[in-house]
Amino acid sequence: MSVPTLAADQSVRAPLPVLGRDVTVPLVTGGEVTYAALDYAASAPALQRVWDDVAAYAPYYGSVHRGAGYLSQLSTDLFENARRTVADFLDCRTGDQVVFTRSTTDSLNLLAAALPDGCEVFVFETEHHASLLPWRDARVTCLDAPRSPRQAVEILERALADRTAAVHEGHGPALVCVTGASNVTGELWPVRELAAAAHAHGARIVLDAAQLAPHHAVSVTGLDVDWVAFSGHKLYAPFGSGVLAGRADWLREAEPYLAGGGASRRVTRREDGGVDVEWHDGAARHEAGSPNVIGAYAIASACKALTEAGFEALAAREERLVRAVREGLADMSEVRFLSLFGDDAPRVGVLSFVVEGWNSSHFAAALSAEYGIGVRDGLFCAHPLVRTLLGGDARAQGECGAPEAEPGEKSLNAIRVSFGAGTPDEHVERFVRAVRELVRDGARWNYRTVDGRCVPDTSA
């Protein structure tokens, strides 16, 4: 079977130019090649537009919220305008808060710190660790991996119904945490239906949109979720910034996530030598310290760029790229794609797979060293899910990104290829050709494991 070429009447260029698109990297076999960055699910490259916007602002950088100078006033306006841009991007409700954080992980830990006493959290074992692990101080019910969107809703409804039937003294509120798109399989989850199930049983729901927001429009209002969290570095704005947006009441009633300047409205000394603090009620309550203005501005710039490009067009192009990968490897019986909901399930530009006879770290190393293609291998910070998909024990331990076997030996790890609005068609075509050649002919170089990573053996 020949490698399919993406339709000639379709643009082969990425719709949104990104930094690094012309970077060349050396090959272990000799020469150089333009780097194919196909690890968007971990960190997407920055949009050129985002970089240009940040560079244009940089000379005017100043402190925010209390500075009297012109640059401080300019920076404050820019920071708060970025908040409004994000609220519009997420189609937030009137009264919702947009809190700037460091990442999705930080956002969900912030929400975890704001949970009312006695809150019970329901989370599927399929979640990324960012949404699986923050709830340490709550009572957590971990739900089994569903095998269809409908089953996901049924599993949640049963769990919430059992909770309602077992009302006891001190019975507190409930929160459901769910992903919008899997960082392992790319599959879209039935968020609106899960939100309806949660609300029908008096629970709230938070959406981990880290993998969804870069690929599809996310409407807090339309999906009827209570909160949404995402990261800038997956949204083409990699500056250590993130967002938690949604209902204000739990955030307003909780102790500040960090104690410090900016979160406090008034601080006074007491006669006993201590201090009394009156905290802000709004987003500033959980944004203590000097905020990451550049990070917030970068997220807002990316939100504008994605909105103007049009999510329908971006999603349609990604569907075509996903189809090119799957069809290009369809006759390779050695290649097995991982899926919860089935091969035809709607998904974003994320695909994970294993190759018979290959250690996944070895395969990923060969793609990089011999073809200049960057993918991800390991358990993708979703250990229970990957182990379930690979037929292992979801409760077993494993290291993220570290091979458990030498090259050629079996390993319970997988390979992930992911792409987005900055991916040229040629990178996807090259990936398909490279996978086919490696499966057919094997690696052209020897590899060894060093510090948990498979690398080319240059000792000879």
Instruction: Just list the catalytic residues.
Output: 381
As a whole number of angstroms, the distance between CA 185 and CA 195 comes to 21
Closest to 132 in 3D by CA, of 346, 380, 342: 380
Tokens of 250: 């739990």
Q: Which residue has the tokens 């060293």?
A: 369
Could you report how far apart the first and last alpha carbons of the chain are, in Å?
36
How long a stretch of residues is the chain?
460
Residue among 262, 264, 267 at smallest CA distance from 292: 262
The conformational region for residue 247 under phi > 0 = left, psi -120 to 50 = alpha, else beta, is beta
d(CA 342, CA 102): 34
